Structures are given as structure tokens and as C-alpha cells.
Structure 1
């Protein structure tokens, strides 16, 4: 799990994906993300066929880290793992799902936005947590404030992230990576604008390199 956390941090950005037509789009999307230097995907259960999408993406690009998002039940955890998911993301902090994932040996990143969430995550032994919805919950200022008593956490803010504020978030030392859907919007995917997705990924990678001084 530590290795997975480090790999996500090195990439710096995690596309959050809702796929309405996995048979048509999953393979091409995987190729577009990898071509843009972002070989990671959080495929959300907000659309039917999420598990199928994960399997297709992983089969198409085995080097990708593919995870499941908007996971609300342990049954969805099982479904995601069967499809080859390497990590689980939940919108809120559900101790039952966290401990279930831990029992399965899979990384889990629950949504946390309060001191109570952070404290519970600490007791559950987590190291990397999702901060969702980021902008609506106080953004960078709140992440910094919570990092004072909870300096042990690395954070992955998601919600309201774009090319305009990606760099500002990544400048915060506790932030490992940012989740975002700006490079995988419904318009881009349904319009099969794979080149545009690749271009947005490349721009995101450039921002990551610029901020972290490894470009």
C-alpha cells in the first residue's frame, strides 16, 4: 500500500471518471490517459458498468493503476476487486468499509473534511486520505488548518480542482496528489475527444513537474 501511495504521489493527479459506455470508451480512455503521462484512474460507481470499465482499462493498459471510486458498500468493494481494482475511494469515512478493505489488503482512501474524520482515520491507521469535496469544504486553507494537529496524513483533495488551481494545491506539502474530473468530463468522453484528454493530462503533468521541481 505504501508503494501505491508513492506511485500516486509521483503522478500527482488522479482522473476521477464516470463512464456511461465502458464497452465503447474504456479502452480508448485508458490509452489517452497513459499517452498523457497519467497512468492512473479512479472509476466511479456513479455509472453502471464501473467494474466492467475497470477491467477493460486494466486489460488495455496493464501499467495503469486502476481504482474504484464512489464506493458505498462492501459489496462494491468485492465487485471492484474482482475487476482488478488496486485501490478503493469512498466519498465519506465509513469505518466498516475501511476495515473491510484493510482485511482484503487493498488500499482505501476515504473522504475526510473534519477533525472528527481525521481523528477516526488516524485510529484506523490510515496514511493517505481523500479531502472531498475540496473547494466546497474550505479548500487549501482548511487542509492547512487540519494538517497542524494531524501532520501524519498525506491528503488527496478532490472536488473543484482544475488546471487553474492544481498548482496552488500541489504547493501544499501535505498534499500527495489531486483528484479531478476536468480532464475526463462527460463532454470529452462522450464526444470521444481522446486527443484533448491526452493534452489536458500533459498540461497537468507539466504543472506537477513545475511545482515539484522534477521537470
Structure 2
């Protein structure tokens, strides 16, 4: 089992996927991994999400599939049972913290303020999701947190595009960003896996 630090170091971008059609899950994950983005977050926002995680975990060994939009311990348990190798939440609650501490599957909790980040640091989490990145203050906020909280690393997600990603990745406290632009809905619907692999390869090259 990889640590959350090791997972976030796999590539400069973690694709954030909302999968409606189960049949797209495996070829989509394969295309992203082939392009150099093996760490993949599948959000639990659709009925197909648990089965998609299970299929990717079983059929795409080159990918490290995680589950996002985890809001409570029940979601956490369901995602782990489906095969998720890491868990991502948009925020955090005391219940999630306690459950995560008992689980072998690493947790990336969300924070949008210095106070939230400090609470999670006190609970033992040094790698956090910064969400929603752009509305919450973007690179300016993350840059300002680097000095007083140098022990924290963030994966900003929310409103980040290929144009904005380099500014985030230039920050010392940002090992990677989360983004959906590498798997645009029209390309997924068209089963254009070549285009998605090319987008992933371009994203993987954002940090040498």
C-alpha cells in the first residue's frame, strides 16, 4: 500500500473523474496511465462510481485508483471495499478523521482555510486537498500558507485548468494538482482514448 505522499508524487496531475458509463472506466484509466498519470480519483457522484473503481482496480494494474467525494465513514468503507487505494474528501469531519486513522487505506482530507489545515495537521495529516482551489483563494492563499505551515503539502483541486496548473505547481507546497481537463466529457463520450492519452502526456510534462 502506497502512502498518500507516494501517490501524490506519481505525477503532477491527478485526474478527477466523474464516470457515468461503466464501459468507459477501464479504457479511460488505461489512457490516463499510458499518458503518465497513474494516480486517478474517481468521484462517488454517480451510480456507476463504485463499479468503476472496482473495474479499474481489477483490470488496470498500472493505475492507482482512488475514490473522491467521500463524505462519511460509510462512503469510506464502500470505496475501500470497491478497491480504492486512496480516499479523498472535499473537506473533513471528526468522524472521517477517526475512521481514516483506523484504515490502512490512505486519506487525503480537504481544507480551504488555515484553521482547517491546522486542525488536520494536529490530527496527523500532512498532505491535504485544497478545495475549492480557485474560489478559495488559489495560488495566493497557498503561497501565503507556505511560510507559517511549511510542513503541509496540498493537492489543489477545483477550477484548475491546464493554463493555471503551472502556477500552482511552481509553489513549494504543491506536489500535484487535481484536474478534470485531461478527460473532457466529449472525448470520453466519443471514446477518443488517443486524445485523452495525449492530454495526459501533456499534463504529465508540466513538471519535469
Shorter-chain TM-score tier: over 0.9
Structure 2 counterpart of 1:83: 82
Q: Is the 8 A contact 2:146 2:172 kept in 1?
A: no
Structure 2 counterpart of 1:56: 55
Structure 2 counterpart of 1:124: 123
Matches of 2:186 and 2:70, distance apart in 1: 24
Once the 2 structures are TM-superposed, how far is the Cα of residue 37 of structure 1 from its aligned partner?
A: 1.0
Structure 2 counterpart of 1:192: 191
Q: Helix, strand or coil for the counterpart of 2:112?
A: coil
Matches within 5 A, 1:1-215: 3-22=3-22, 24-209=23-208
User: For each residue in 1:103-135, what CA deviation from the matched residue of structure 2 results, as whole angstroms up to 9, or x when unmatched?
Assistant: 012211111011110111111100100000101
Matches of 1:10 and 1:25, distance apart in 2: 23
Distance 1:100 1:162, change over 3 A: same
Matches of 1:180 and 1:8, distance apart in 2: 13
Once the 2 structures are TM-superposed, how far is the Cα of residue 65 of structure 1 from its aligned partner?
A: 0.8
- TM-score where L is the length of structure 1: 0.92
Once the 2 structures are TM-superposed, how far is the Cα of residue 2 of structure 1 from its aligned partner?
A: 6.7
Structure 2 counterpart of 1:212: none
Moved more, 28-37 or 1-10: 1-10
Structure 2 counterpart of 1:213: none
Q: Is the 8 A contact 2:133 2:156 kept in 1?
A: yes
Q: Is the 8 A contact 2:4 2:108 kept in 1?
A: no
RMSD: 1.4
Matches of 2:82 and 2:2, distance apart in 1: 22
Gapped regions of structure 2 (runs ≥ 5): none
Aligned length: 208
Q: Which segments of structure 1 move beyond 4 Å, counting only runs of 4 or more?
A: none
Matches of 2:206 and 2:158, distance apart in 1: 18
Higher helix share: 1
Matches of 1:98 and 1:41, distance apart in 2: 22
Matches of 2:130 and 2:110, distance apart in 1: 5
Once the 2 structures are TM-superposed, how far is the Cα of residue 147 of structure 1 from its aligned partner?
A: 2.1
Moved more, 186-195 or 121-130: 186-195
Gapped regions of structure 1 (runs ≥ 5): 210-215
